[in-house]
Amino acid sequence: MIVILKQHPETEKVNQLLHQLEEWGLSHHYSQGTLTTIIGLIGDTSKVDVDMLQANDIVETVKRVSEPYKAANRKFHPEDTVIDFGNVKIGGGHFGVIAGPCSVETPEQVIAVAKAVKQSGANFLRGGAFKPRTSPYAFQGLRAEGLELLMEARKETGLPIVSEIMSLEHLDLFADVDFIQVGARNMQNFELLKQLGHSGKPILLKRGLANTLEEFLMSAEYIMAGGNENVVLCERGIRTFETMTRNTLDISAIPMLKHLSHLPVIVDPSHATGIPWLVEPLSKAAIAAGADGVMIEVHNDPKKALCDGAQSLTPAQFDDTMKTVKRYMQFEEKIFG
Ligand code: PEP
Ligand code: MN
Task: Kindly give the distance from the C-alpha atom of residue 52 to the centroid of ligand 1, in angstroms, as a whole number.
Answer: 36
Smallest CA-to-CA distance from 269 within 256, 252, 284 is with 284
* pLDDT, position 279: 98
**Atom number, ligand 1, closest to the C-alpha of residue 308:** 3
Smallest CA-to-CA distance from 152 within 188, 176, 185 is with 176
Ligand 1 pocket check for 132: Cβ under 6 Å: yes
DSSP-derived 3-state class of residue 91:
strand
* pLDDT, position 174: 98
In this structure, the strands spanning 161-164 and 179-182 are parallel
Q: Is the pLDDT of residue 102 over 90?
A: yes
The one-character DSSP state at 159 is: -
Q: Is the pLDDT of residue 213 over 90?
A: yes
The band of 47, judged by pLDDT with boundaries at 50, 70 and 90, is: confident
Which runs of E-coded beta strand occur in 134-222?
161-164, 179-182, 203-206
* pLDDT, position 34: 85
Q: Hey, whose CA ends up nearest to atom 10 of ligand 1?
A: 184
The band of 99, judged by pLDDT with boundaries at 50, 70 and 90, is: very high
| Alpha carbons 232 and 293: distance in angstroms, whole number | 10
CB 84 within 8 A of CB 264: no
Mean pLDDT estimate for the chain: 96
Smallest CA-to-CA distance from 176 within 201, 194, 206 is with 201
Ligand 1 pocket check for 307: Cβ under 6 Å: no
DSSP-derived 3-state class of residue 335:
strand
* pLDDT, position 331: 94
| Alpha carbons 122 and 116: distance in angstroms, whole number | 9
pTM over 0.75: yes
Task: Kindly give the distance from the C-alpha atom of residue 111 to the centroid of ligand 1, in angstroms, as a whole number.
Answer: 21
Give the percent of the chain with pLDDT over 70: 100
Q: Is the pLDDT of residue 217 over 90?
A: yes
Q: Hey, whose CA ends up nearest to atom 9 of ligand 1?
A: 184
* pLDDT, position 278: 98
**Atom number, ligand 1, closest to the C-alpha of residue 126:** 2
Q: Is the pLDDT of residue 43 over 90?
A: no
- Judged by its nearest atom, the ligand closest to the C-alpha of residue 295 is 1
Smallest CA-to-CA distance from 119 within 97, 140, 90 is with 97
Ligand 1 pocket check for 101: Cβ under 6 Å: no
- The pLDDT tens digits for 283-337 are 999 999 999 999 999 999 999 999 999 999 999 999 999 999 999 999 999 999 8
**Atom number, ligand 1, closest to the C-alpha of residue 184:** 8
Task: Kindly give the distance from the C-alpha atom of residue 297 to the centroid of ligand 1, in angstroms, as a whole number.
Answer: 10
CB 14 within 8 A of CB 5: yes
- The pLDDT tens digits for 115-172 are 999 999 999 999 999 999 999 999 999 999 999 999 999 999 999 999 999 999 999 9
Test site for ligand 1: of 166, 177, 180, 206, most ligand atoms within 8 A of the Cβ:
206
| Alpha carbons 281 and 278: distance in angstroms, whole number | 6
- Judged by its nearest atom, the ligand closest to the C-alpha of residue 311 is 2
Q: Kindly state the average pLDDT of the residues 181-201.
A: 97
Ligand 1 pocket check for 271: Cβ under 6 Å: yes
Q: Is the pLDDT of residue 33 over 90?
A: no
Q: Hey, whose CA ends up nearest to atom 3 of ligand 1?
A: 102
Contacts with 111 (C-beta within 8 Å, 6 or more apart), sequence order:
152, 153, 156
| Alpha carbons 199 and 170: distance in angstroms, whole number | 13
Tally of CA atoms within 13 A in the half-sphere of 79 that contains its CB: 4
Residues forming a β-bridge with 149: none
- The pLDDT tens digits for 244-267 are 999 999 999 999 999 999 999 999
Test site for ligand 1: of 236, 248, 307, 312, most ligand atoms within 8 A of the Cβ:
236
Test site for ligand 1: of 135, 181, 250, most ligand atoms within 8 A of the Cβ:
181
Task: Kindly give the distance from the C-alpha atom of residue 334 to the centroid of ligand 1, in angstroms, as a whole number.
Answer: 25
Contacts with 305 (C-beta within 8 Å, 6 or more apart), sequence order:
101, 102, 103, 105, 299, 312
* pLDDT, position 46: 85
Which runs of E-coded beta strand occur in the chain?
2-5, 27-32, 37-42, 59-63, 83-84, 89-90, 94-100, 124-126, 161-164, 179-182, 203-206, 231-235, 265-267, 293-297, 335-336
